[in-house]
Structure formats: structure tokens, C-alpha cells
Amino acid sequence: MIMRKDKYANRKYTIYGFFIFVGIIFLIRLSILQLFNNEYVFAAENNTRKDITIYPPRGLVFDRNNKLIVYNEAIFDLMIIPKEAKDINIVNFCKLIGIDTLEYQRKYKKAKKYSRRKASIFVKQLSKTQTAFLQEKLFQFPGFYVQARTLRKYPYKNAAHLLGFIGEVNSKELKNDTFYSSGDYIGKSGIEKSYEKYLRGEKGVEKLMVDVYNREKGSFHNGKYDIPAKKGYNLHLGLDVDLQTYGEELMRNKIGAIVAIEPSSGEIISMVSAPSYDPNLLVGRIRSNNYDSLLKDKHKPLLTRALNSSYPPGSTFKLVQALIAQQEGVLYPSTTYTCHNGFNYKGLHVGCHSHTPTINLEEAIKISCNAYFCNVYRSIINNHAYKNSEMGFRKWRDYTLKMGFGKKLGIDLPYERGGNIPKVEYYDKYYGKGHWNAITTISLAIGQGEILETPLQMANEAAFIANRGYYYTPHIVAQIGDSAKNNPSFTKKNYVGINSKYFDIVVNGMEKVVENGTAKLAKIDSIAVCGKTGTAQNPHGENHSVFIAFAPKDNPQIAIAVFVENSGYGGTWAAPIASLMIEKYLKGYIPKNRKWLEKRMLEGNLIPEDER
């Protein structure tokens, strides 16, 4: 009998082989998981592990003389993880932290709405004593722990507008930057806002082992997987905090601004907005109430007038007309115009004070003749090199924009305003195209009409005249960190389009303004001060006092603008304040023969009695 071979007999070897192959794969995989891969170990250990965010100290802030003006102070927040805290004894917990159950439920719902699994602030800014007491009892309440943070402190009660303040992140800020979590703090104004990414540092993580009661039992794997926090960069400012303090004292009981710039670098030496406030008022738990009070104050102490307020520059703008007209070839140092108590043209009258009728450019700057500069402006707009006055106006406007007017200068602070230099389109709409000219816009000649400048722009005008034709973008921060890390645009010269030779006559005229012109109170022994007064018309009350200056005349070290609202002539208040600031900066003191002037400026109260 012949046996037929089973054709399926060999299949069993295939099946054996398959199972052996699968077994080998499982063995390899198990070996990897057990010997080399900690993924599942970590997953299991997560049930007994807690990650604590380590908040880095914000960078410190120093002035130009390396004086510490902003530092950090430790505070503590009570954090909650809602999912872990759902079964605690609420009554006992409320007794521990001193709140009622309704307040607890409100806070719990807020935290839960943010995230059930992520930590958020339950009670903010606990004292060290409160924190020490809490930490002894907190193990009884899973889902709660204490988080260390820092708050800003200010050893000087000055420069609040410039330094800015920090506050809790809002929903928009959380959405825009994943760096932040609910309850984190962020710069809200000043350099705290504009340099936030440098100041904030980098967060770290500390991994801890905890028991079933959420009590800490030491580091996870001896801290092997911890991520250290990185401190924020320190900032070194161009600010002189002593000069800033002095400026704020001079502007006490006054409304306005002071801006002082180092012409050779563009660094802001001082920036005063008055009235001001103590920056420590906007720190910690008192911040909210103080902010509301400051916000409701009718004198607007939160307003950074140096950057956010625009004013008519008045006669300080006459220097701009003189420079443009010389560059355009329609004005020379020897050019004379006659003034009969003002500028008169077909019924139009722009008044002026009494002086010698016929004067040249240098004398016109010295005595601030309105008629002279009305004629200068008219010669620019009606320049025969252009087909019509509209073309002349466009050319004039191009010069002013290049000088930094009518646009933001680009300072490293938020919320800067650009002022206003009117456009052709504005007058076309107001008067009708072809129905306006140099005469209808003559108020621009003396810095009135539609021209508006910030005090920063006024100081920058003094700076580019001091430099004879260029300026550096004004900036607060001179250096970031220990290296020379800063914005390269701050080291670039911005040329204003005027040949340097045309500045000599203007500077000489400015020197005479102080020597024996409209700003005699600004004269300083042994220092050649070059300045220009302005009286900005105010239709709502007393005129504003304006003064711009730089010193010394040769190799200038400071350029300054002072604007005092509702205080009259430029030589009465703004010029003396500017000269005291200059002398304090260059000499370090005010000599005895000028103490009377200092006393008058310090004690002067220019806020109307019904508004005090």
C-alpha cells in the first residue's frame, strides 16, 4: 500500500516559526522597556511626583552710574490644582487661610475654569510669616502648595513712568505667549514692558516625590531631571537717577515734562512727567487700590507726558525754520526783515513784542521775533525753485519729518506718540485745493497752528542742533546684561538733511538767547548754554512755558527740553528749570549765587488753587 504524503505537513513549521519570531520580538521589546526605556517608569512615578515651576528672578536695573534702582523681593502664592483638591475638608481649609466657604467656591471655580490639572493662583502674595504657618498644615490638603515668586522694589521713589510696573497676565497675553501661565506677572508699562523678554528670564522645573497626602518626600531621582531657572538679564540705563530725582523735585506742584538727552549717544539722562508717583505704590496687594486712585486723579499722574502728550512747540520751532530756509538758499545770516510790532499782510496780523525794527537772523533768534520768522517761513513755501506753494510746503514738510517731527522717534518705551506735522491733504480738505498758501498757514512759522510735538521731540531738536545735523534715536537702555547687547539702530546717526555749516549762526543765536536775550535766568557761570524759549498758546487758559537747550556750546554733554503747562513765558519757568538741571548734571551742585532761583523753582506751585 502506497502512503500519500500530506501536502500540508510542512505548514506546522511555518506556524512554529511565526510564533518563535513573535516571541523574539516581545522579548526584545520587554528588554528595551525594562533595561533602557524609562517612559513607563516615569508614567507610574507620575502618580507620586509633583512638578514645581521655579520662577527666575527678574533682571535688576541700574542707572548710568551703576546705582541699583530696581531689585526683587521674595513673595509667595498659594497654588491650587483643582483635580487634586476636590475632596479636601473645605471648612477646615477656609479656617486655615481665613476666608469663608463662598469665597472658597468662587476661587475654586475660577481655577477649575482655567484648568482642572494645571496649577493656578488661589491666594496671591502671602507674607513670609503666613507662608511659614501654612506650610506646617498644608500636607492635610492635597492639591495645594506654596509657590515662591518675586516682586519689584524701588529704593528710589522716582522714574515711575520710565521704569513702568508689572502686573498679572490677562487672557490676551496668555493667548499671545505660551511662556506665561495664569497668575504669572508681566511688564505692563515702561521698560518692564518693552524689555520684558530680557527681564523675565527662563522658568525652571523642580520635580519632587510626594506621598498619598501630597507631602513632599524629597527630590525625584536626586534632582537629575530638574531644570534650573535662568535669571533675567540686568539692564543698565542711560538714566542718572540723582538728576531724575532733582528734576521731579523741580516739577513738584507743576504739570508738564522734562527730557534730557546725551547728544553723543542718544541716551536718556532724565525723563520727568509731572505729576508723578512713587513706583512702590503699584507693587503687591496695594497695587489695585492705588492704581484706581491714581487713575481717578484729575491731574493724571499715570500719564507719561514726556511721550504721550503733544503740545505746540511755540517759538522753539523758529530754529527749524532758520535751518530749512538756509538749506533751501532763501535765508542768509545777513538777511534782514523789518518788524513793526508784528507781521502784517492784507489784514492779517501776527503780534510781536517791541524791539529794534530791522534785525538779522542771529538777532531774530535772540529776541524771538515773530515777524522775522513769518517772513522766513513765507520765503520757504514761496521758493521760486518750486512751481507753487503746495510744492514748497511739501518740501518744508519733508525736512521736518527728517528732523524727527510728525512721527515716532522709536524710543525703547511703549505708547510713544508721534506729534503732528500737517499734510497737504489736510489743508486741501479744510480750505479747498489751491485755496491755501504760506499766509493761510502762517501760524506754522512760529510753532503754532496744527504743529504738535512731544517733549521728547523737543529735546531731540536740541540734540540734533547740538550735534550740528544729526541725532541718535533716543533710548533708555544703554546695555543689556554684561555684554554690549543692545539695539544696533541706537548707534546709527540719523541725519536731518541740513548742511552742518548752517548750524553755526543758529547756535550763536541760541547762545545770545541765554546771555542777554529771552532766557537770561538760564545763564550759568563758566558754562556756555545755548537755548531757545517758547511760549505756546493755550486757548483754554494760561499759555505754556517752553525751553530747549544744550550745553556746553562746544562738545555738548546734555540736551534738554522743559515744558511747563499753564505757566506763561518760556523764560519764566521752563528756562530756569532747564538751567538748574544742566548745572546739577555738569557740576554736581547748585552754587550759592543761584540758590535763590532753585528755591523759587522748588517752591513754585503752578496748579490752580481750585484744582489742588
Contacts of 339 (CB under 8 A, 6+ apart): 352, 355, 357, 358, 359, 369, 370, 371, 372
Across 127-140, average pLDDT: 85
Average per-residue pLDDT for the chain: 90
> What is the predicted pLDDT for the residue at 213?
57
Q: CA 300, CA 317: separation in Å to the nearest integer?
A: 27
Contact 576, 603 (CB under 8 A): no
How confident is the model over 140-152, as pLDDT tens digits?
A: 888 898 888 888 9
Q: CA 302, CA 296: separation in Å to the nearest integer?
A: 10
Question: In this structure, are strands 235-237 and 61-62 parallel, antiparallel, or unpaired?
Answer: parallel
**pLDDT grade for 72, boundaries at 50, 70 and 90:** very high
Q: CA 454, CA 304: separation in Å to the nearest integer?
A: 10
Contacts of 536 (CB under 8 A, 6+ apart): 311, 312, 313, 314, 447, 448, 543, 544, 546, 563
Dihedral sign computed on CA atoms, order 440, 443, 445, 451: negative
How confident is the model over 393-433, as pLDDT tens digits?
A: 999 999 999 999 999 999 999 999 999 999 999 999 999 99
Across 313-324, average pLDDT: 97
Q: Alpha helices, DSSP H only, in 297-388? A: 305-308, 318-327, 361-367, 370-381
> What is the predicted pLDDT for the residue at 87?
83
Tell me the one-letter amino acid at 462: A
At residue 61, the 3 state secondary structure works out as strand
Give how far Cα 138 sits from Cα of 87, 111, 124, 133, Å: 14, 18, 16, 9
Query: Spelled out in words, what is the top-level CATH class assigned to the domain 241-277+304-611?
Result: alpha beta
Q: Which position has the grid cell 480750505?
A: 431
Per the CATH hierarchy, to which homologous superfamily does domain 49-211 belong?
Answer: Penicillin-binding protein 2a (Domain 2) (3.90.1310.10)
pLDDT at 369 over 90: yes
pLDDT at 546 over 90: yes
Cell of 590: 547748585
pLDDT at 232 over 60: yes
pTM: 0.87
How confident is the model over 29-43, as pLDDT tens digits?
A: 766 656 555 555 554
Across 254-265, average pLDDT: 97
Domain ranges of the chain: 49-211, 241-277+304-611
Least trusted range by pLDDT, from 25-39, 341-355, 482-496: 25-39
